[in-house]
Amino acid sequence: MGSLETSTVLFTDLVGSTGLATRVGPGAAESLRRDHFAILRGAVETTGGREVKNVGDGLMVVFTSSSAAVGCAVEMQQRIERRNRKADEQFSVRIGISMGEADVEEGDYFGPPVVEAARLCAAAAGGQILCGDLVRATAREGHEFRPLGLLDLKGLPEPFSAHEVDWQPAEDSAHTLPLPPRLREVPPVGYVGRDVEREGLTFLFDQVREGARRVALISGEPGIGKTRLATQLAVHGHGDGATVLYGRCDEDLGVPYGPWVRALRHYVTEAPDEILRAHAEQYGGELAQLAPEIRTRVPGYPEPRETDPETERYLLLGAVTSLLEVATRDAPMVLILDDLHWADSPSLSLLRHVATHDAPLRLLVLGTYRDSELANDHPLAILLADLHREEGVSRIPLTGLEEDHVVTLMEAAAGHELTGPGRRLAQAIVRETDGNPFYVAELLRHLREAGALVQGADGRFRIEGRIEDLGLPQSVREVVGRRVKRLSEPSRQALAVAAVIGRDTRTRCSTCSRRPRLPRWSTRRVRSDASPSRTR
């Protein structure tokens, strides 16, 4: 026999749960789903809610108080936000809350508040909490709401007056600057492998937290995972309270100090007023040349000093170092300078200055570059040789992923575990790509588009024909073509030889003594598809 009960009902839903297995692989998706439930249940426990049931990838929870329900929703979002800061894979949850009289039968709840909460949940975006008028009216002070007006919610006869609950990250993480936008993008596949490199970088980051300055230079061929590794470490560091800055060098149209400008503009836009003000008072107005936004942040910001160009340059270098010094007093910093093989000379001078200056900096610089694009007389090659002698500078050369990790990547792409033929395909792909994750993804995409990998009605992929018979994907060909374009003439000649006699050649470039390091199958095709003469 059922009864009527005035209740506040809360629904949650894990955003994008259907695509999760595709992004991170079935095993990782399952463990992420379990983590997510554990986090939500922790919040329910501390706020006095009662879990009614588990609905798909979410929970239905009831409360006798609407304040407690809103408090629970905020606690859930804060716990997820805190967890995301330290995790490899991010996830988000939407939440809907409604209050009213519910029919209670054998411990389950039915009726208007249940339907409304479920519909509000479905209408919310990841990270959002939506609730109805009654919740808004009855929740005690201490919560902020933003009216959203009348929403047309599927399944409800009338438009429904809804509010968004405003929530902030928990105190312990609120002081950290937000991640730069480029690092907030969720990558299409989960992170695999690189345990040794990640351990090494984490060790450096720990030293930075203790007060040291460290520079790690991550090198490798295009697509090998330099940016992703740096990003991965930076996001972890951010979870531990680090300020993270990101600046990329431009291939064409580079402005002087390009990567620094990008990195510093983020800092100047987000940094606390008092740090910027104190810096201006102590060190003058040079910084506006790189980050003009500082003028709007600091009223009466001084003009840069005018003197001879060399002194001006020196003042600018000093302004940046001093800003980093002030900024890293409160929190350690991770600064990514991406694609340094395209850096302009002023940017490299600034990097040299920051890496060698004796100011106390709790700073980890992560520089990435394509070693395949550095001739001996490249300005970066000269800087690398000089920095080699400096304490606290390490080099991290990346090579291809191991077969097991390529299998994990492929399982993530397929959304299911690989069986015998799938594993054999993985072996072939490792052979063809040398474990370069970019090439792996491109080759898989190509195999699907060419009809060699077919998804059956059961959602599983099967292989048609022999992958050796398929051509080179266009985007891989372009990358290879662009690399060939950049090589010096002797290197191109060496490459042409390598293309003819195969990848295991001992051939070395006569100028730089390096072996051409294209993946096996790309060198094989260089002759016909990306021949030096056709690519400038």
Residues near Mg ion (CB under 5 A): 227
Using CB under 6 A as the binding rule, whether residue 392 contacts ligand ATP is answered as: no
Select the binding partner of residue 370 from ligand ATP, Mg ion, none (C-beta < 5 to 8 A, by kind). Answer: ligand ATP
Nearest to ligand ATP by Cβ — which residue?
225
Across 220-292, where does the E strand assignment appear?
A: 243-248
Select the binding partner of residue 124 from Mg ion, ligand ATP, none (C-beta < 5 to 8 A, by kind). Answer: none
Select the binding partner of residue 194 from Mg ion, ligand ATP, none (C-beta < 5 to 8 A, by kind). Answer: ligand ATP
Using CB under 6 A as the binding rule, whether residue 226 contacts ligand ATP is answered as: yes
Stretch touching ligand ATP by CB under 6 A, among 220-228, 287-295, 377-385, 386-394? 220-228
Q: How far is the CB of 426 from ligand ATP (least distance, A)?
A: 14
CA distance 532 to 501: 16
Using CB under 6 A as the binding rule, whether residue 220 contacts ligand ATP is answered as: yes
Q: How far is the CB of 438 from ligand ATP (least distance, A)?
A: 4
Q: Which is nearer to ligand ATP, 52 or 189 (CB)?
A: 189
Q: Which is nearer to Mg ion, 22 or 227 (CB)?
A: 227
Query: Is residue 117 a contact partner of residue 10, using CB atoms and an 8 Å limit?
Result: yes
Using CB under 6 A as the binding rule, whether residue 224 contacts ligand ATP is answered as: yes
Q: How far is the CB of 24 from ligand ATP (least distance, A)?
A: 10
Using CB under 6 A as the binding rule, whether residue 222 contacts ligand ATP is answered as: yes
Query: Is residue 322 a contact partner of residue 283, using CB atoms and an 8 Å limit?
Result: yes
Among 225, 247, 422, 473, binds ligand ATP (CB under 6 A): 225
All residues at 6 or more sequence positions from 41 whose CB lies less than 8 Å from its CB, including other chains: 51, 59
Among 37, 145, 314, 438, binds ligand ATP (CB under 6 A): 438
Using CB under 6 A as the binding rule, whether residue 201 contacts ligand ATP is answered as: no
Q: Which residue has the tokens 């051509």?
A: 471
Using CB under 6 A as the binding rule, whether residue 223 contacts ligand ATP is answered as: yes
CB environment 399-434: b (16+ within 10 A), e (fewer): ebbeeebbbbbbbbbbbbebeeebeebbeebbebbb
CA distance 516 to 505: 9
Q: Which is nearer to Mg ion, 439 or 461 (CB)?
A: 439
Among 49, 113, 193, 422, binds ligand ATP (CB under 6 A): 193
Q: Which phi and psi angles does 532 have, rounded to 5°?
A: -50, -40
Q: How far is the CB of 205 from Mg ion (least distance, A)?
A: 20
Select the binding partner of residue 224 from Mg ion, ligand ATP, none (C-beta < 5 to 8 A, by kind). Answer: ligand ATP
Q: How far is the CB of 226 from Mg ion (least distance, A)?
A: 5
Query: Is residue 4 a contact partner of residue 102, using CB atoms and an 8 Å limit?
Result: yes
Cross-strand bridge partners of residue 461? 455
Using CB under 6 A as the binding rule, whether residue 473 contacts ligand ATP is answered as: no
Q: How far is the CB of 437 from ligand ATP (least distance, A)?
A: 4
DSSP string, 150-213: EE--TT-SS-EEEEEEE----HHHHTSPPPPHHHHSPPSS-----HHHHHHHHHHHHHHHTT--
Select the binding partner of residue 435 from ligand ATP, Mg ion, none (C-beta < 5 to 8 A, by kind). Answer: none
Query: Is residue 247 a contact partner of residue 339, using CB atoms and an 8 Å limit?
Result: no
Q: How far is the CB of 483 from ligand ATP (least distance, A)?
A: 10
Using CB under 6 A as the binding rule, whether residue 227 contacts ligand ATP is answered as: yes
Query: What distances in angstroms separate CA 125 from CA 38, 70, 77, 319, one per listed residue?
Result: 21, 17, 12, 42
Task: Pick the closest to residue 252 from 319, 332, 351, 339 (CA basis).
Answer: 339
Q: How far is the CB of 260 from Mg ion (least distance, A)?
A: 18
Size of interface with ligand ATP, in residues (CB under 6 A):
20
Question: ∠ at Cα 26 (23, 31), nearest 5°?
Answer: 100
**Which sign does the torsion angle of CA 71, 74, 79, 82 carry?**
negative
Q: Pattern of binders to ligand ATP over 304-343, x per CB under 6 A?
A: -----------------------------------x----
Q: How far is the CB of 482 from Mg ion (least distance, A)?
A: 13
Q: How far is the CB of 410 from Mg ion (least distance, A)?
A: 22
Query: Is residue 518 a contact partner of residue 480, using CB atoms and an 8 Å limit?
Result: yes
Q: How far is the CB of 187 from ligand ATP (least distance, A)?
A: 4
In terms of DSSP bridges, do strands 129-132 and 160-166 run parallel, antiparallel, or are they unpaired?
A: antiparallel
DSSP string, 33-91: HHHHHHHHHHHHHHHT-EEEEEETTEEEEEES-HHHHHHHHHHHHHHHHHHHHH-SS--
Q: Which is nearer to Mg ion, 100 or 259 (CB)?
A: 259
- DSSP code at position 83: H
CA distance 273 to 451: 57
Query: What distances in angstroms separate CA 143 from CA 165, 247, 283, one per listed residue?
Result: 7, 38, 42
Q: Which is nearer to ligand ATP, 111 or 187 (CB)?
A: 187
Q: How far is the CB of 192 from ligand ATP (least distance, A)?
A: 4
Select the binding partner of residue 85 from Mg ion, ligand ATP, none (C-beta < 5 to 8 A, by kind). Answer: none
**Binding footprint of ligand ATP on the chain (CB under 6 A):** 187, 189, 191-194, 220, 222-228, 339, 368, 370, 409, 437-438
